[in-house]
Structure 1
Amino acid sequence: NLCIGEARAAEQMGAQIFEQSRVIDIQYTDRPVVKTEKGQITADKVILCGNAYMGDLVPRLDDRVLPSTSVIIATEPLSKEQVAQCMVKDVAVCDSRTALDYYRLSADKRLLFGGLSNYTGLEPANAEEVMRSKMAKVFPALRNVRIDYKWAGNMAISVRRMPQIGRIKNSNVLYVTGYSGHGVAPTHMAGRILAEAVDGDSYRFDLMNKMFHLPWPGGKLLRRPAMAVGMMWYKMLDAI
């Protein structure tokens, strides 16, 4: 698991990780103060990287990303014959549609199949059934395989579908958000840019910070319905 592996590597290099420590407020000063429900920390610099899980902690960021739920299913381990029928090469794949599907094989030869962008912020009750149907359209030979696992998570969608990197209120609070479903590669690049900025080399960070990040039109009340209607249009075009 990439996330767990990188967390272990960070701890081996001296980082401390405190889970279940929800931040409830931030003071934007030269030495920012981060308040949690059980205490507070004063830091030289703070990096906000909660992506779709920031909530309304920072209104400036909240109105510039739209959380979207994506679902992944994992099949039972496939036989060599089944693998040969669906994945000639062991690579990660996504299609070219606006509302795309993505899939790859796991180390134990399960097919991981994801998609189903949902802009309500809620996981559909029939998510496994829908994902199985989508998988069967791409890989008919796997129509009857067992589904062993299903999970869902939120992506932060930005208007331009590009990561947003910047600084809050000219303070020492930096942020990155809005990976728009393509986070595995860009997160590592963004991490390097932010690390450079914290270490005193802000050249690449300053370039990204100059970009204007558009807020979602419609505000909290209308942005989700507007996005859902827009995606219905593009899904119709995908189907043509």
Structure 2
Amino acid sequence: MKLVSWNVNGLRACVKKGFMDYFHEVDADLFCIQETKLQEGQIDLVTEGYHQYWNYAEKKGYSGTAIFTKKKPLGVTYGIRDFEDLEGRVITLEFEELFVVTMYTPNAKRDLTRLAYRLEWEDAVRSYLIELNQQKPVVFCGDLNVAHTPLDLRNAKSNKGNSGFTTEEREKMTQLLAEGFVDAFRYLHPNQEGMYTWWSYMSTVRERNIGWRIDYFLISEQLKSRLKRADIHSNILGSDHCPVAIELI
């Protein structure tokens, strides 16, 4: 089973920059996207052989998620139970053997004005994923807007305390992993440096690989033995993020 996750930072723009070429080439069983930035009816995306599931934000041109899956799920859930999601940030698909959850985690903002909300969100997400994991294994993916360790960004010292690399945000990731989840990429590549998934649009930043790894696949502990690959497709352009992928046997 091949799964891909990509923050496309505006699907309509990404389609004009080769999204469908990559989509067909990678031939994933499940393809998850974040930050679609569109409303229902604003795009006619033909994905032959896939079922499409969309979660739109109430605010136009903002946030949004989608999953394209070859296999029809048993059930679909939008948002997180008991936590209002008006920004189209979460989709959960239930299959016979596992859950797949894609998420676009709220950004704390440069001035950290949304950090308190972000931390509440993290607690709700952790409770939700624990609940799912008690039923069957979980694959959790998306733009989680945090570089968990200093290995996960180019300039750790100068970014300490900045949005996406605050102690609070990093601790929430640590807490989630402690509840029976594994960072798939780090499990297979524990010490690899320079592997990032997001780069600023500032001049030559991507060319010089001054980036952050903030897009993840987290999997339930019981899926570790099935994890064959965990890759970062940094050569794929079209967004300020690149796709990430895993294969389960």
TM-score, structure 2 as length reference:
0.21
TM-score, structure 1 as length reference:
0.21
Q: Greater helix share, 1 or 2?
A: 1
